[in-house]
Chain A
Amino acid sequence: QVHLVQSGPEVKKPGASVKVSCKASGYMFTYYGINWVRQLPGQGPEWMGWISSHNGDTEYGQKFRGRLTMTTDTPTSTVFMELGSLRFDDTAVYYCARSGRTTGTTRPFEHWGQGTLVTVSS
């Protein structure tokens, strides 16, 4: 079955960058895209961006443009999310979630990773 396994928790200082991985298994990696969603403490999900595992196309939420980078490594079926210039209010659980593989996809997020807690602290 489909599994998305994320890297472990991170603690970073303000101004630093964090890179979280999401390793996919149980399906054809290049047939889908991967989204990154974060959830601040006590808040609802917030979509950050999407990357096509098919061709590497990306869409970034306006709020994150300029400090968010998503990449994909097809041989290992892994997607990476790097968020830079971290601030205290970036402390959140970050999830990867699978959806469609084409730009502008409206497909739902059928499968999610287990989440990665990123704490920004001085």
Chain B
Amino acid sequence: SYVLTQPPSVSVAPGQAATITCGGNDIGSKSVHWYQQKPGQAPLLVVQDDTDRPSGIPERFSGTNSGNTATLTISRVEAGDEADYYCQVRDGGNGYVFGIGTKVTVL
């Protein structure tokens, strides 16, 4: 089955940029979606199809995808961005796969 690799944690100071990677074999050929999840809440879609932001998501959230790595960047990080972030792809007939998640801590 397809495996998505994420760093367990990322720490960032307010106002700086947080970069979260999602590694997978030839992930650049797939559509990657990113979710933010805060404690006790359902996941929230923040980036879809590699680079697109759903309505209502701040421009500070952006994504790229190429080769074996997809990346979610949160610019000008705020305290409210502290959460777990998960990448997701479709693995053909095996259905959807999520990464193990990255905990973003705002210092």
Contacts and interface: CB of A to CB of B under 8 A. Distances in A.
Given A47-B95, A47-B98, A106 B90 contact: yes
B101 A44 contact: yes
Given A35-B96, A44-B98, A46-B98, A110 B42 contact: no
B33 A44 contact: no
Contact size class for B?
20 to 34
B42 A108 contact: no
Given A106-B90, A114-B42, A115-B42, A47 B54 contact: no
B97 A112 contact: no
A112 B48 CA distance: 15
B49 interface: yes
Contacts of B44: 112
A104 B93 contact: yes
B96 A47 contact: yes
B95 A108 contact: no
Interface of A: 35, 44-47, 49-50, 59, 61-62, 95, 97, 104-106, 108-110, 112-115
23 contacts: A35-B96, A44-B98, A45-B35, A45-B37, A45-B86, A46-B98, A47-B97, A50-B95, A59-B93, A61-B94, A62-B94, A95-B42, A97-B42, A104-B92, A104-B93, A105-B90, A108-B45, A108-B48, A109-B45, A109-B88, A110-B54, A112-B44, A115-B42
